[in-house]
Structures are given as structure tokens and as C-alpha cells.
């Protein structure tokens, strides 16, 4: 939930900064993406571990950049789509919900079995 709110806020801020869909704005967004990725890479020496804020920034900026400039991303479009699928799965997964029919009380089950034995001609 917090990640989706963070994503929406980040997307609104970037769209406000962008204002229009001019070429200069997309260049500025691309430069911001590259600078952010450099900060991520400087934080660690091994494979980059992106924080939720990093993911939100990259996902929100991907909506502002034209597809031909997506080569500047540290991640592939498939990764962005995977993040989105994970977000949707986390949002719509109800933990603790029991699947299937609820259990029948043993007393009620015993009554039904007794009635079935006593009346074999019933359905």
C-alpha cells in the first residue's frame, strides 16, 4: 500500500515538473534517471539492490520517457512490468482468508447421517 502511494506521488511530482511533452522535458527526465542510477550504483559495489523509493522513481519516470529512450534505464521494461505485477499481487492478496467451504459442525453432520440411515428412500 505504501509503495503504491509513493509511486502515485512520485508520478504526480514528475508530471508536474514535466508540464508538457516536449523533447527538452524528456531529456531532463532522462538525465534525472541517469543521475539517480549513478547514486544507486555508488551505494554498493555488487549487484544493485533497488529500494522501494528507487523502484517508484524509475517506474514513474518510465511513464514520462518515450520508449526509444528506455535504453538509459538500469532495468529492462520487463523488470518494470514485473514490479507492477508484484505490486498488484501484493495489493489483491488476502492473507489469512480460508479457501473452500466452511466446516460443518460435527453434531449437525451426525444428525444428517442418522437421518440418511433412518430414511433410505430420501433423495
User: In terms of pLDDT, which residue wins out, 72 or 116?
Assistant: 116
State yes or no: pLDDT of 21 exceeds 70: no
Report the percent of the chain where pLDDT is more than 90: 11
Please, which pLDDT band fits residue 107 given cuts at 50, 70 and 90?
very high
Report the percent of the chain where pLDDT is more than 70: 85
**Burial class, 114, CB count within 10 angstroms (exposed 0-12 / middle 13-18 / buried 19+):** exposed
Report domain extents, the chain: 2-91
Q: What is the pLDDT of residue 66?
A: 78
Q: What confidence tens digit (pLDDT) does each residue in 32-82 have?
A: 888 888 887 777 767 777 888 888 888 777 777 777 777 767 777 888 888
State yes or no: pLDDT of 109 exceeds 90: yes
Q: What is the pLDDT of residue 34?
A: 82
Amino acid at each position: 500500500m505504501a509503495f503504491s502511494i509513493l509511486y502515485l506521488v512520485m508520478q504526480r511530482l514528475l508530471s508536474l515538473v514535466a508540464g508538457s511533452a516536449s523533447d527538452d522535458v524528456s531529456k531532463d527526465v532522462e538525465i534525472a534517471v541517469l543521475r539517480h542510477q549513478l547514486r544507486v550504483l555508488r551505494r554498493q559495489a555488487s549487484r544493485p539492490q533497488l529500494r522501494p523509493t528507487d523502484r517508484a522513481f524509475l517506474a514513474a519516470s518510465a511513464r514520462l520517457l518515450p520508449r526509444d529512450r528506455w535504453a538509459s534505464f538500469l532495468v529492462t521494461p520487463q523488470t518494470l512490468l514485473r514490479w507492477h505485477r508484484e505490486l498488484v499481487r501484493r495489493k489483491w492478496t488476502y492473507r489469512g482468508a480460508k479457501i473452500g467451504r466452511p466446516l460443518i459442525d460435527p453434531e449437525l453432520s451426525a444428525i444428517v447421517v442418522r437421518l440418511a440411515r433412518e430414511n433410505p428412500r430420501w433423495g
